[in-house]
């Protein structure tokens, strides 16, 4: 049984995130890390292995520049067995369509029974790549699960919709995505950090995948960021000091003035 855990390297949300002149995120100027929502994808992949009697190989897969190797490293430290890093200058500025095309080619080359994704990345935050990837592979997609389980040749997720809790089952091979409600992701142990250093990571280019550059990268993107305007810095909040019991009135005043009530 082979699971591919899709991990994206993103700028650290606690740091300054700038846009470069070409409208893409300035990844060189920012510290990056494994997208927090993809830690849940790795965690659920590890739990599937721990709950399975079969041999389960977990491979972390990323598409990104040199620094994206850190996303793989974190997944290996958590317990993944190996990594695949799709790294090619031509990928810079790729939109979600292109990313899903590259990921589909990588999944076909690597082979897999199950692809586990995060619900969304913490930078583009579109939440579309799992479905796009499944469409390109012709595989079923069961997305936004808070629980994932395997029975024989099928995978089942549970998710909470607005009006109903749903159980979705799909035959393997399949693509699933998991939410941040799927349980805490483990921290790498010291043993895991040391073991990760010896784990294999393959680095592939678009050529290795046999993917032509049409529709790939900034030139090929179907969407273009034409303008970016930094958001105004957050205003300091209103501080109410309740010395004479008027605090409640002041709060109601604030809420009604701002049409919260």
Ligand X SMILES: Cc1cc2nc3c(=O)[nH]c(=O)nc-3n(C[C@H](O)[C@H](O)[C@H](O)COP(=O)(O)OP(=O)(O)OC[C@H]3O[C@@H](n4cnc5c(N)ncnc54)[C@H](O)[C@@H]3O)c2cc1C
Site residues for ligand X per CB under 6 A: 6-8, 25, 35, 37-38, 41, 62-64, 94-97, 99, 117-118, 120-121, 123-130, 223
Q: What is the DSSP string of 170-229?
A: EESSEEEEE-TTS-PPPPPPHHHHHHHTTS-EEEE-HHHHT--STT-HHHH-SS------
Answer for the pair 218, 92: CB distance below 8 angstroms, yes or no.
yes
As a whole number of angstroms, the distance between CA 238 and CA 252 comes to 13
Which of 232, 245 has the CB closer to ligand X? 232
Which of 35, 44 has the CB closer to ligand X? 35
Which of 25, 150 has the CB closer to ligand X? 25
Which of 126, 194 has the CB closer to ligand X? 126
Give least dist CB 144 to ligand X, A: 11
As a whole number of angstroms, the distance between CA 46 and CA 116 comes to 11
Which of 227, 243 has the CB closer to ligand X? 227
Give least dist CB 237 to ligand X, A: 27
Give least dist CB 155 to ligand X, A: 16
Give least dist CB 190 to ligand X, A: 27
Query: Strand locations in the chain, DSSP E?
Result: 2-6, 9-11, 32-34, 57-63, 82-86, 114-118, 141-145, 147-151, 154-160, 165-171, 174-178, 201-204
Q: Which residue is nearest to ligand X (CB)?
A: 124
Give least dist CB 128 to ligand X, A: 4
Q: Is 45 helix (H, G, I), strand (E, B) or coil?
A: helix
Give least dist CB 116 to ligand X, A: 8
Give least dist CB 147 to ligand X, A: 17
Which of 27, 199 has the CB closer to ligand X? 27
Q: What is the DSSP letter of 159?
A: E
> How is residue 221 written in tokens?
């993107």
What lies within 8 Å, CB to CB, of 243 at 6+ separation is none
Which of 41, 104 has the CB closer to ligand X? 41
CB hemisphere CA count around 20 (13 angstroms): 12
How buried is residue 61: exposed, middle or buried, by Cβ count under 10 Å (0-12/13-18/19+)?
Answer: buried
């Amino acid at each position: 049984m082979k699971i591919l855990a899709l991990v994206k390297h993103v700028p650290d949300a606690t740091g300054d995130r700038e846009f470069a002149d070409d409208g893409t995120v300035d990844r060189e100027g920012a510290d990056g890390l494994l997208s927090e929502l993809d830690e849940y994808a790795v965690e659920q992949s590890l739990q599937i292995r721990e709950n399975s009697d079969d041999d389960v190989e977990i491979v972390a897969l990323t598409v990104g520049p040199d620094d994206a190797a850190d996303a793989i490293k974190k997944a290996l430290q958590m317990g993944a067995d190996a990594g695949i890093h799709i790294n090619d200058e031509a990928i810079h500025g790729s939109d979600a369509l292109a990313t899903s095309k590259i990921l589909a080619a990588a999944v076909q080359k690597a082979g897999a029974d199950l692809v586990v994704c995060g619900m969304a990345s913490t930078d583009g935050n579109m939440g579309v790549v799992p479905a796009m990837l499944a469409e390109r592979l012709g595989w079923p997609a069961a997305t936004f699960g808070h629980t994932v389980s395997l029975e024989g040749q099928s995978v089942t997720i549970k998710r909470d919709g607005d009006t109903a809790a749903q159980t979705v089952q799909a035959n393997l091979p399949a693509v699933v995505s998991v939410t941040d409600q799927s349980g805490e992701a483990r921290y790498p142990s010291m043993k895991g950090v040391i073991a990760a250093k010896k784990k294999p990571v393959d680095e592939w280019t678009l050529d290795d995948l046999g993917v032509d550059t049409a529709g790939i990268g900034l030139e090929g993107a179907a969407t273009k960021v034409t303008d970016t305007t930094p958001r105004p810095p957050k205003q300091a909040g209103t501080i109410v000091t309740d010395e004479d019991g008027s605090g409640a009135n002041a709060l109601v005043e604030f809420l009604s003035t701002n049409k919260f009530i």
